[in-house]
Structure 1
């Protein structure tokens, strides 16, 4: 088991005072269940001898008390145990999210969003069973089994030894049978559940494209097959649990038989009475009802560790090379006005890869410059943009007004250098909420003003104004409108340096020129620096400099006319 998995399992355990309170209440409930059967057996058997009623009163009161105590303590144990376990889930999700943030976006490339969602939701939910179905049952069963063996030993040593032997045999046999019958299925449930979640999410998100290309039946078939595989694993696990319970029940009957084998001769010789024999014979049934949770706890442990392993793989404690992280000596970055950004001998690689995507980049972005960066696909243009906003770590130097970005806090760097991505993310909300994402304190007048600056004021007025819905991932707006909304957010955030990555990638030719012109014109009005990444040509009058990137290296730079 890796250190990351152990760390997650420790985080899943509630604080000691809450955990031990739930364990104590569970032990009291189990003790009442065992005592109830023992007291009932003694009362019924002793009553058959027709003693004075006074001798039975204490047993009658005990039976009532144990019956009420069993339900009362069981309720409190479930309440305390689940409350303690549920309180840990937000901490686990917060920890997982905090570790995913540095990885995004480049460190999570290749992970399906549905799989990440499953780890964040289903696998974290599974961790509640670490305390509820593993730790609490094991401790409670151990305490009650030990107490029952001691009590039986005091009544009849041979019966106590037999009960101990059958309990040990039940723990071993039950664990072996459970591992054989359900072990593989338990380890498969979490990955199969993630596969189904990912398939459903992909189907729902892309149903229009799948329908257009007549690929919907195949996508539905893949979801159906994933569901069938998950159902098969769950059924196999249930069958294994049933077989385990059957083995434990069989050994419980064996303990009762052995109790009678040793007890009946003891009654004949006068060592014990008939009521004590009844207690020795029936007590194992109650003990094994509690102890039967031990093999099941081992099965729950396999599921919990499988989920913890998946969470650890999604958000490891040690970030992969290429993912930037704030060190303990990271310092604030304070910039007045528009800074100078200088790259010297800068190289970078995508996380998880060995070959650099950028090589020895030397570049200076002076205040107010409008620089066009061109190059073929795969040349490293997006990687350069991600280095500037600290999504991607680098070698060499990247400095903002002489301050190395590696030594500054990432959040501060991203307040200075902003990124309009090739495919800007729009939330499934109205236009106002998508803009307030950039600056929460912005008023409606400020939002309308920024829409006017990016050429969306008339478009919004023809619809519902700031209440215009944009749809999931901007499904209700065009590519050009999405880029303009992203530009409006960048203006609201007031980035001194703005990196715009392929703003015309999803825009028709007629609208592309207008989008680029608006971006550069707006930047020139504010005096901010713009690095425009584009495959298409830009009129020389709109830019101050042109740079070409090829195979991760700058090939040349020319001043614009």
Structure 2
């Protein structure tokens, strides 16, 4: 399913169209001022040389061209400054908004659709492809548009002086501005995609090697992995070299054509002057006009190549975010009840697309307001699938899950997710402050509320020891023990204030004493919330009201 027209990547650029168009205008003004400056200077110097000292003292118009040269110089400096200022400002704004757009479109696909995409692949999209898109306007579109407008002005100016010169410039513009770049990029889309895929492969290997460095070292596989990284780097380097040679070849052909254009213009201007059709200053002006255009055309190859790379990057980004969601939003969502209501699984069946076997086969389950239940079972028995259906990461193949008698599919996902606080099996602890981690659960929570929650989960002493709410928490909880990280993640979930708490393997990786201490605290911490706990461990007495076992897709009271 494609994205709605209102949320395509082009809307990010349209949002900044005023700044983008102003960038083009300023760039065109810079080009125009530079070209006019060179043409006027060439004509003025030629006229001065021909007039000689006697002419300069007897009525030669010295001041008007001099004033024009000074004015064009100042105009070029000013337009160049503001073009850089506006161009960089709008590029940074697009960089910000493009990343927000990508996250907004990609996050609803997690974890279902994005579960099959490697983390390194997503990083490649976020870092490499969006970086290509960031500069698409200032590196490709703006220069091409400004050069096109500049070419029209230059050809029109040449026409007023000598029509044959205008025809020569028009032919050169087509050859140099369209023909040579077309030869350079024609049929190269597959090569650009291949280059992007190899760049992604290198990032994948590098990222996964860093993430799994400890395991690779334990397996004595670091050298093997480094070899794979080196091979990927050499393959990418070969493609980069091929791309550079393509650009060099285009540049060489560009140089031959522009040299021929300049020589032809020189011969044409001398011939026209010899025939008395134009005077010497205008003939010189045509030659210098051609020199100025050749200088501007020098960046055409790079602009066209940036345009092609940007188009490939846009396609790759949309390849991620245009995937259809795992569940559909209702056309007219119903409001979620504001009072606590009963959850019911009614003859729920579910099978993964690649598996004909039902992971859940006719599940009936009731979770009353304030009730605490646990689902036990072996790995792969479908426990996490049961909770993912409650979270509406997927929908049942048959049967339904209701809340207060209303099918969950009738609620907007955003509204329904507000009713649930979820502590996944590998709940992350983010690099940042203690407060920053906690306020992910409640952005508006005061310091007093955060301290109260830390005390409730028995992390008050730890927080004071690490510097209070502004104490630093290492990436992935590197500065915390497993039990502390789990309690911090639980505190964050409890701060949501949602009436339903879902815990997926809350004691995974904890020793028995730490796990039991955490579980015994749960009944008090919940404060009347409903609890669905997924676990394979035995539970201490009093933690939950009832324990079920999931086996062969069916639930049994344990």
TM-score after normalising by structure 2: 0.87
Alignment of 1:151-550 (within 5 A): 151-179=157-185, 186-316=192-322, 319-320=324-325, 322=326, 324=327, 326-337=329-340, 339-348=341-350, 357-395=359-397, 396-442=399-445, 446-447=449-450, 449-456=452-459, 470-519=473-522, 521-522=523-524, 526-538=527-539, 542-550=543-551
Deviation at 1:528, TM superposition (A): 3.1
Residues 220-244 of structure 1 show CA distances to partners (whole Å, capped at 9, x for unaligned) of: 4444444444444444433433332
Aligned residues of 1:344 and 1:362 also touching (Cα < 8 A):
yes
Secondary structure of 2:116 counterpart: coil
Deviation at 1:186, TM superposition (A): 4.4
Deviation at 1:78, TM superposition (A): 2.2
Distance in 1 between residues matched to 2:256 and 2:109, nearest whole Å: 52
Distance in 1 between residues matched to 2:131 and 2:532, nearest whole Å: 44
Secondary structure of 2:491 counterpart: helix
Aligned residues of 2:516 and 2:540 also touching (Cα < 8 A):
no
Aligned residues of 1:346 and 1:398 also touching (Cα < 8 A):
yes
Deviation at 1:146, TM superposition (A): 2.0
Distance in 1 between residues matched to 2:455 and 2:157, nearest whole Å: 84
Distance in 2 between residues matched to 1:211 and 1:477, nearest whole Å: 23
Distance in 2 between residues matched to 1:106 and 1:21, nearest whole Å: 42
Counterpart of 1:40 in structure 2 is: 41
Aligned residues of 1:418 and 1:495 also touching (Cα < 8 A):
yes
- Bigger drift between 127-136 and 7-16 goes to 7-16
Distance in 1 between residues matched to 2:355 and 2:125, nearest whole Å: 24
- Residues 214 and 261 of structure 1, relative CA distance in 2, 3 Å threshold: same
- Residues 13 and 297 of structure 1, relative CA distance in 2, 3 Å threshold: farther
Deviation at 1:312, TM superposition (A): 0.9
Deviation at 1:304, TM superposition (A): 0.7
- Bigger drift between 350-359 and 271-280 goes to 350-359
- Residues 300 and 480 of structure 1, relative CA distance in 2, 3 Å threshold: same
TM-score after normalising by structure 1: 0.86
Residues 334-370 of structure 1 show CA distances to partners (whole Å, capped at 9, x for unaligned) of: 3324x31012233446699998654443221123333
Alignment of 1:80-159 (within 5 A): 80-159=86-165
Aligned residues of 2:262 and 2:290 also touching (Cα < 8 A):
yes
Deviation at 1:109, TM superposition (A): 0.4
Consecutive unaligned residues in structure 1, runs of 5 or more: none
Deviation at 1:510, TM superposition (A): 4.7
Distance in 2 between residues matched to 1:364 and 1:83, nearest whole Å: 56
Residues 295-325 of structure 1 show CA distances to partners (whole Å, capped at 9, x for unaligned) of: 4322111111111122112211x523x2x35
Secondary structure of 1:531 counterpart: strand
- Bigger drift between 218-227 and 387-396 goes to 218-227
Distance in 1 between residues matched to 2:305 and 2:134, nearest whole Å: 14
Q: 1:61 aligns with which of 57, 67, 71?
A: 67
Secondary structure of 1:391 counterpart: coil
- Bigger drift between 211-220 and 446-455 goes to 446-455
Deviation at 1:254, TM superposition (A): 0.9
- Residues 242 and 398 of structure 1, relative CA distance in 2, 3 Å threshold: same
Over aligned residues, Cα RMSD in angstroms? 3.3
Distance in 2 between residues matched to 1:175 and 1:276, nearest whole Å: 31
Secondary structure of 2:289 counterpart: helix
Secondary structure of 2:9 counterpart: helix
Aligned residues of 2:502 and 2:532 also touching (Cα < 8 A):
yes
Aligned residues of 1:186 and 1:299 also touching (Cα < 8 A):
no
Distance in 2 between residues matched to 1:143 and 1:544, nearest whole Å: 76
Distance in 2 between residues matched to 1:353 and 1:83, nearest whole Å: 51
Distance in 2 between residues matched to 1:115 and 1:303, nearest whole Å: 17
Deviation at 1:461, TM superposition (A): 6.8
- Residues 485 and 48 of structure 1, relative CA distance in 2, 3 Å threshold: closer
